[in-house]
Chains A and B, each alone.
Chain A
Amino acid sequence: MTSQVPDLWPPSAQEVVFLLLGVVALGSALLVVTTRQLVHAALWLVVCFGALAGGYLVLTAEFVAWVQVLIYVGAIVVLLLFGIMLTRAPIGRSAGLDSGNRVTAATVAVGTAAVLVTVVVQGFATAYTPLEPGGGAAATLGASIFRSWVLPFEALSVLLLAALIGAIVLSRTDIRPANPAADAGGPAAPTTPPHPPDPAPPPADGSGATAGETGSGRVSRDGG
């Protein structure tokens, strides 16, 4: 691994590009946390991810690079923006983006960075790996995932499935009763006053919104 180390000076074109991408990634990452505009922070995050993807490209990890663009830039941050816009979509500076823990956070961040940089420089200052084109293509990666790492990979799919179920549990509002006739009963019965009985059972289908509207409609009908 540490054989045939070429001279560090003059730097090759790849090294220069990699360095520049690193500067871009660092700068945009700083801007993500310092900008006072929410949407701009998300956009700087895009730049940061893009620069990382560029870094992967320079290191010949093509598949990872494009997947990084596809997943992080193309899906995750878009969803983030989507969330921001669905809720508030603020233009201009938001005062709430400034935290009182600025100094602590900065200290921790600088400390972490310092430790990491020291460790990596100390450990890998002389390490050298020649880059081989095509080393990061889909074939190599696929062979690795579906051979050496097949069990963790499958376990990850299980994890995602569990997360999906969890998201459904936490967000679905149209949970219908398991058995409308039988109440929970026993000491676990609700202590809240019983709900006024509906004149008709709610429809057996449809979304929660529909059921809610019909329900409230019926209630007001009783009143009117």
Chain B
Amino acid sequence: MNGTIPAPTIEYALLAPMLVVFGAAIIGVLVEAFAPRYLRSAIHKPLTLLTLAGAFVITIWQARTGIPTTPSAMGAVAVDGPALFIWGTILVLAFVSVLLINDEGHFVASAAAVPGSAEEERALTEGATHTEVYPLVLFAVGGMLLFPAANDLLAMFVALEVMSLPLYLLCGLARRRRLLSQEAAVKYFLLGAFSSAFFLYGTALLYGYAGSVDLAKINTALGSVGGQDTLLYIGVAMLGVGLLFKIGAAPFQAWKPDVYQGSPTPITALMASGTLVAAFGALLRVFWVALGGLEWSWTPIMWGVAILTMVVGAILAITQTDIKRMLAYSSIAHGGFLLIGVVALGNNQQQNASALSALLFYLVAYGFTTVGAFAVVTTVRDAGGEAWHLSRWAGLGKRRPLVAVVFSLFLLAFAGIPLTSGFFGKYAVFQAAVAAGATPLVVVGVVSSAIAAFFYVRVIVLMFFSDPAADGPSVVIPGGTWAVGAVAVLATVVLGVFPQPVLDLAHTAAQSLFVR
């Protein structure tokens, strides 16, 4: 009677980076439960950083020992070249974001207190902190690792939730502008739940079509199952909505500015980098592995989405007066540029590999730059918190030239100016798209880049050629933020001047394409 279920085969070594992160998150929970309050922060900070660093080392080690060619963990996870590259990227970006999180003063003292109430005041004066942030961040990072590596839609959905739920919460924990933060959390939660429902609905319909949620089996079913095309198309559309929402592609971009603005800035940095990378990994896997055979059907729609996303992101960014909202729209526009790469799916292996490697490189370059940009945003502060309004940034170049120069560098990288990482990212993606015959898309991309460059340069002009206000914001750079800024500057410059090693690495990772 007992023991009739054969034990599943789990490749623990392959899944180690993910398991390490989840394990550390659970240890973090235990720390929350049992460690005395004054020790918690001191335990969490090294624990979280060491975990992420350790997981990164394991990932590197795995990439060197050989990349498996079959899915692992009973077919739930595919640890292949792109997945390992994405894991490495996410882990580094998360590490950098955690350095930002470590600095004081980003998170609320007592989330349960009503904003402006006596309880909140009391918690503030007593210096209470929510150290639960660290395990939550680790949970989210674990979800980010699972999301792009999931090999069936069910695992992918679970990963999506594991990634999103802690982020919904973290969004609402900003120390300043509590109401804005809570609004962001609720908006993100409601819209995110909605998009998850779409994803799940799409999964159900695709299961009805293919009789399996396994990505490879869905692809096989594309050629063999006939007469149920409605099911397939509606399923694909819903799945696409769920995934595009996470990327923030138009017309599902509405949450992004509000959420990016209201969240604590380190969490915004994590979302703008890690979540975007993970979501693109998952999107690529779904559309290339499961729906590769359906390319002729979804490519035109993806064209439209990419164009709309780029244009909406670039044009709406111009009208923004808030630095965080501007960066959010910039992130939307970059999502559009990345979608060009998704569309650049060709007919032969080589073409696909080059498109994939271009995307991977773009993700790395953009991830570092965006974390750096948000790190700079945290340093420019008014009495009531970070100075978000662009007018407060006027003349910053005269008062704090170094900060202004660094921020300008990030903005130039966003714009894709040569000698920055953004240039090679865009160049690689556009090149792949041209090779795949998507020249019109590239034209739109270049035009949007030009529009986007306008508002990036506008900020630079504002910082260097305006007179500083008398009561201008102060610039405070805690240690962690220093490190983050330095790393981001280094990455942006090195990838812009000497991109070959990372390009090669991305190329090697992309060579084997996704495991089927």
Q: Contact residues of A with B, CB < 8 Å?
A: 115, 118-120, 122-124, 139, 142-143, 146-152, 155-156, 158-159, 161-163, 165-166, 168-173, 175-180, 182-188, 190-192, 194-195, 212, 215
Contacts and interface: CB of A to CB of B under 8 A. Distances in A.
B37 A176 contact: yes
B136 A165 contact: yes
7 contacts: A148-B74, A150-B73, A162-B136, A175-B130, A176-B128, A180-B127, A188-B381
Q: How large is the interface on B (under 10, 10 to 19, 20 to 34, 35 or more residues)?
A: 35 or more
Contact of A177 (B127, B165, B231): B127
A115 B105 contact: no
Closest 6 CB pairs of A and B: A188-B105, A151-B76, A177-B126, A166-B169, A162-B139, A195-B125
A159 B159 CA distance: 9
B166 A178 contact: no
Best-surrounded residue of B38, B127, B381 (most CB of chain A within 10 A): B127
Contacts of B136: 162, 165-166, 169
A188 B126 contact: no
A173 B112 contact: yes
Interface stretch (B25-33, B92-100, B289-297): B25-33
Interface string B126-142: 11111110011001001
A21 B205 CA distance: 23
B154 A169 contact: no
A151 B71 CA distance: 12
Contacts of B73: 150-151
A155 B478 CA distance: 36
Contacts of A149: 74, 76, 154
A105 to B, nearest CB: 14
Contacts of A180: 126-127
A13 B125 CA distance: 70
A4 B257 CA distance: 56
Given A115-B234, A171-B112, A187-B381, A179 B127 contact: yes
A111 to B, nearest CB: 12
Contact of B121 (A162, A182, A183, A192): A192
B124 A122 contact: no
Interface of A is mostly: helix
B155 A163 contact: no
Contacts of A152: 76, 154-155, 158
Given A159-B161, A188-B105, 8 more contacts: A119-B230, A122-B231, A142-B5, A152-B158, A169-B169, A170-B172, A177-B128, A195-B122
A146 B5 CA distance: 8
Contacts of B209: 123
B438 interface: no
Interface of B: 4-8, 10, 15, 22, 25-26, 29, 32, 37-38, 40-41, 73-77, 104-106, 109-113, 119, 121-132, 135-136, 139, 142-143, 146, 154-155, 158-159, 161-162, 165-166, 168-169, 172-173, 175, 205, 208-209, 227-228, 230-231, 234, 381, 383-384, 474, 476, 478
A220 to B, nearest CB: 14
A156 B111 contact: no
Nearest to B73: A151
Contact of A118 (B25, B74, B230, B384): B230
Nearest to B142: A158
A188 B130 CA distance: 15
B166 A166 contact: yes
Given A169-B130, A187-B381, A194-B125, A150 B32 contact: no
Nearest to A181: B127
Contacts of B75: 148
A187 B113 contact: no
A172 B113 CA distance: 9
Best-surrounded residue of B32, B165, B209 (most CB of chain A within 10 A): B165
A194 B175 CA distance: 17
Contact of B74 (A150, A161, A187, A212): A150
A212 B75 CA distance: 54
A173 B230 contact: no
A179 B249 CA distance: 44
B135 to A, nearest CB: 6
B6 A158 contact: no
Contact of A175 (B8, B110, B143, B478): B110
B109 to A, nearest CB: 7
B124 A165 contact: no
